[in-house]
Chain A
Amino acid sequence: MELALIQSLLFVGVLVTGVTPFVRRVSRIRANILRGRGGVPSDQHWKRWTQMTRVALGQSKMGSRPVAAFFHLLIYVGFVLINLELLEIVLDGVLGTHRILAKPLGPLYSWMIACFEFLGLAVVVACLVFLWRRNVQGPARLYKAIELQGWPAKDANLILIIELILMGALFLMNAADMALHPGVYAFPVSGLLAKALQGWSPEALYACERIAWWLHIGGILGFLNYLPYSKHFHIILAFPNTWYASLEPAGTMSNMPVIQQEVKAMLDPQSPPPTNVADAQSRFGAKDVHDLPWKSLLDAYSCTECGRCTSVCPANLTGKKLSPRQIMMSTRDRLEEAGQWLEANPQAITVEDHRSLLGDFISTEEILACTSCNACVEACPVLINPLNIILELRRYQAMEAGEMPSEWALMQSNIENNGAPWAFPAADRGAWAQESRILS
């Protein structure tokens, strides 16, 4: 009885210690994201719920790559449903019970565990396939991709290995339990494993079951804390990211009301002067991460580096330096760095470490290579928009830094002077009608 009490207290302690740093880390990320510009949309709730349900919950954009979509679905469904068992684990842990749901659910319980076990097996298969695709033979966006060298590749493998360990612990726990209570439980997958445990002493089986049980719950808590440092954070952020994603046609560029007002005041001296003073003091476009809209920052943390964007980018396909995935990874890296600097300098309002997203993380060559074709935006399974970051950086380049290719400067001066990007006189704009041979 006392041992059970100690176990319960220990469990509650582990649970609290495990969840607290996760919550703290997430709230820091949240604050970092909200340092970005712009308001939080609260309009069109129904459309947003539909979008999130379809794209994040329903995985609607995954299907364009069927192999990846299939195995990803196995892990996704497995992960979500197997975690229902977590409910029982938490109840058992807190109350000091053992398989508390077994009795009330009756035969349904064995059926439910059997389902989890088959899903667990599917997860194992999918993880092995994904490890194969990343390390032995796979699409160029995953296997030997330049951008993934170093930490990103390790991160990806680590996630898959942790998932394999978690599934292994689940099977071992069930197998030991089955061997310990012959005839009480019948589990289809771990049953095979249970045979291998025959001949173990009851004490050894009990210890094995306990160790596997703690490994499972401990592993999940550990994994939970790993998430916000990893690309795997997408399993959570995919939901808010698809909820807040733009509902506008993809071709729409965001308006800059400050400039709109300035131009209005210039063209019509009678109109009231620009009012939005706070915004007027900030930069045009983005030089650093906190100049970007906050949704772009959420995008950066939501990216799981699958590379579908880069694999369809016309600039990247033809050997230009631009990679939309790298844009997202660079944004996240700088965002982390900037957030840490602000935490280390709590008196500072803005980041003053003499570094910036444009220049230190993303080069001009990258942003100049973009054709704004929206292929990356269309390809993203969680509605990340790399194009938006590129266009905001271009705005800074053109309007604050005053740097652009000479051909663009010429094109812009043509528009300014003749109303066309080419050097034709505006007075000849209607001349095509006279040239026509089909008109009398």
Chain B
Amino acid sequence: MEILTLAQLQSRGEQAEYLFWVGCAGSFDDRAKKVTHAVVQILQHVGLSFAVLGNEESCTGDPARRSGNEFLFQMQAAQNIATLNAYGVRKIVTACPHCFNTLRNEYPELGGSYEVVHHSTLLQQLINEGRLKLQDGGPFKGRKITFHDSCYLGRANGIYEAPRALIQALDADLVEMRRSKKNGLCCGAGGAQMFKEAEAGRLEINHERASDIAGSGASAVAVACPFCMTMLRDATAQTGQTNVEVLDLAEITALSLPSAPHNTVLNNAAQIGSGLNESGLNG
């Protein structure tokens, strides 16, 4: 099965229910691309009608806006909204909370109103509706997993429960970190910090978060954001928590699909934690 772009669908005179907004990290970051594949695998497994923008997608402008460059943000927004409106997009799903926040909260005032969901919410809905069925006693059954709240999903948009419901649907043992939900500690990447060195301080924010992970006793951290993924992988590796896996909710779900043992997502996941060489974006 192939992944179609909206342009390809249009040329066939077809439409898709959802646009899967991949985002910059999901398109270019080697680690985040695996999450993108996991999302695709789940959506295809469920048979959800979706398409992507491909090369017509461009940065939402979130890091430009948060680093103060409103001109660049408005340029990106105008360009993306023109594309989205031209295709008559109505529903968008994305695996990036930053894209999610911008598309959902900041584009409407600029003329781009869509029904935007984060993949954690969509996956939970699909499970609730019975459209997405996971293995009984899948690979995460009984395993201690903790969930790291992304600021742009949690405090910024009030989404705390969908990711947790998803983990619980896997029969996993969901444990909370010392700081979670409304009190969750940032990974250190938001507000365009992802793209610069941190200011001088006592320690890195992601290392502070690593102590919460260690304290939870979990063997895996579920994340819902590509930037949190990078920060927490670095943090766990640099603080000697080599036994802790950092996985996106989509990967955890894909690994628990009935067909999971035969697919390559599992092989991808097996490589996770093998080193930092995969992230490769800053190099």
CB nearest to B156 among chain A residues = A251
A412 touches B72 (CB 8 A): yes
The stretch from B136-144, B186-194, B269-277 touching chain A is B186-194
Closest CB-CB distance, A408 to chain B, in whole Å? 5
Complex Cα spacing A302 to B197, Å: 34
A253 touches B263 (CB 8 A): no
Closest CB-CB distance, A175 to chain B, in whole Å? 46
Complex Cα spacing A58 to B207, Å: 37
Complex Cα spacing A408 to B68, Å: 10
Residues of A200-224 at the interface with B, using a CB-CB cut-off of 8 Å, are none
B72 touches A255 (CB 8 A): no
Complex Cα spacing A411 to B81, Å: 22
A371 touches B28 (CB 8 A): no
Q: Chain A contacts of B199 at CB under 8 A?
A: 315, 320-322, 365, 368-369
Tell which of A321, A398, A404, A421 has the most Cβ of chain B within 10 Å: A421
Closest CB-CB distance, B79 to chain A, in whole Å? 8
The stretch from A9-17, A44-52, A425-433 touching chain B is A425-433
Residues of A319-360 at the interface with B, using a CB-CB cut-off of 8 Å, are 319-322
Number of interface residues of B (CB under 8 A): 77
Q: Chain B contacts of A370 at CB under 8 A?
A: 191
Q: Chain A contacts of B22 at CB under 8 A?
A: 429, 432
Complex Cα spacing A412 to B265, Å: 33
B205 touches A312 (CB 8 A): no
Q: A227-270 toward B: CB 8 Å interface, digit per residue (1/0)? A: 00000000000000000000011111101100110111001000
Q: Chain B contacts of A276 at CB under 8 A?
A: none
B66 touches A253 (CB 8 A): yes
B59 touches A419 (CB 8 A): yes
The stretch from B87-95, B102-110, B121-129, B162-170 touching chain A is B102-110
Closest CB-CB distance, B109 to chain A, in whole Å? 5
Is B101 among interface residues, defined by CB-CB distance under 8 A?
A: yes
CB nearest to B100 among chain A residues = A251
B188 touches A314 (CB 8 A): yes
A369 touches B198 (CB 8 A): yes
Q: Chain B contacts of A439 at CB under 8 A?
A: 1-3, 40
B151 touches A372 (CB 8 A): yes
B67 touches A404 (CB 8 A): yes
B63 touches A421 (CB 8 A): yes
Residues of B1-26 at the interface with A, using a CB-CB cut-off of 8 Å, are 1-3, 5, 22, 24, 26
Complex Cα spacing A370 to B59, Å: 21
B75 touches A263 (CB 8 A): yes
Is A424 among interface residues, defined by CB-CB distance under 8 A?
A: yes
B37 touches A412 (CB 8 A): no
Is A436 among interface residues, defined by CB-CB distance under 8 A?
A: yes
A373 touches B191 (CB 8 A): yes
Q: A422-B281, A429-B57 are in contact. Are A372 and B66 (CB under 8 A)?
A: yes
Is B242 among interface residues, defined by CB-CB distance under 8 A?
A: no
Is A378 among interface residues, defined by CB-CB distance under 8 A?
A: yes
B41 touches A438 (CB 8 A): yes
Q: A373-B190, A438-B37 are in contact. Are A420 and B67 (CB under 8 A)?
A: no
Q: Chain B contacts of A410 at CB under 8 A?
A: 195
Q: A249-B157, A251-B152 are in contact. Are A429 and B55 (CB under 8 A)?
A: yes
Q: A251-B152, A321-B199, A408-B196 are in contact. Are A432 and B70 (CB under 8 A)?
A: no
A407 touches B58 (CB 8 A): no
Is A282 among interface residues, defined by CB-CB distance under 8 A?
A: no
Q: Chain B contacts of A411 at CB under 8 A?
A: 63-64, 67, 192, 195-196
Complex Cα spacing A365 to B151, Å: 22
Is A318 among interface residues, defined by CB-CB distance under 8 A?
A: yes
Contact count A vs B, C-beta below 8 Å: 232
CB nearest to A387 among chain B residues = B191
B63 touches A318 (CB 8 A): no
CB nearest to B205 among chain A residues = A314
Q: Chain B contacts of A256 at CB under 8 A?
A: 70, 74
Complex Cα spacing A250 to B97, Å: 13
Is A43 among interface residues, defined by CB-CB distance under 8 A?
A: no
Q: Chain B contacts of A426 at CB under 8 A?
A: 55, 58
Is B246 among interface residues, defined by CB-CB distance under 8 A?
A: no
A318, A371, A372, A394: which contacts B202 (Cβ < 8 A)?
A318
Complex Cα spacing A288 to B28, Å: 39
A438 touches B52 (CB 8 A): no
Closest CB-CB distance, B111 to chain A, in whole Å? 9
Q: Chain A contacts of B183 at CB under 8 A?
A: 64, 312, 375, 378
A405 touches B196 (CB 8 A): yes
Is A437 among interface residues, defined by CB-CB distance under 8 A?
A: yes
Closest CB-CB distance, A416 to chain B, in whole Å? 6
A315 touches B205 (CB 8 A): yes
Is A391 among interface residues, defined by CB-CB distance under 8 A?
A: yes
Complex Cα spacing A260 to B109, Å: 10
Q: Chain B contacts of A112 at CB under 8 A?
A: none
B158 touches A412 (CB 8 A): no
Q: Chain A contacts of B158 at CB under 8 A?
A: 249
B3 touches A377 (CB 8 A): no
Q: B13-57 toward A: CB 8 Å interface, digit per residue (1/0)? A: 000000000101011100001001100110000000000101101
A371 touches B70 (CB 8 A): no
Complex Cα spacing A424 to B69, Å: 21
Is A116 among interface residues, defined by CB-CB distance under 8 A?
A: no
Q: A381-407 toward B: CB 8 Å interface, digit per residue (1/0)? A: 000000000010011111100001101
Q: Chain A contacts of B115 at CB under 8 A?
A: none
Is B161 among interface residues, defined by CB-CB distance under 8 A?
A: no
Q: A253-B106, A315-B205, A437-B264 are in contact. Are A399 and B152 (CB under 8 A)?
A: no
Given A251-B157, A252-B106, A369-B199, 16 other A-B residues pairs in contact with their CB atoms under 8 A:
A249-B101, A263-B71, A314-B205, A314-B208, A318-B198, A372-B190, A373-B190, A404-B67, A415-B72, A419-B58, A420-B24, A420-B58, A421-B59, A428-B55, A439-B2, A440-B1
Identify 17 residue pairs between A and B in the complex whose beta-carbon atoms are under 8 Å apart, listed by A's number: A249-B156, A250-B157, A256-B70, A259-B74, A263-B74, A315-B201, A318-B204, A408-B192, A412-B69, A415-B76, A419-B57, A421-B59, A424-B28, A432-B22, A432-B36, A438-B37, A438-B265
Q: Interface residues, chain B, CB within 8 Å of chain A?
A: 1-3, 5, 22, 24, 26-28, 33, 36-37, 40-41, 52, 54-55, 57-59, 61, 63-72, 74-76, 78-79, 101, 104-106, 109-110, 151-152, 155-158, 182-183, 185-186, 188-205, 207-208, 263-265, 281-282
A-B pairs with the 8 shortest C-beta distances?
Answer: A251-B156, A319-B202, A398-B68, A372-B191, A419-B58, A430-B54, A373-B186, A394-B68
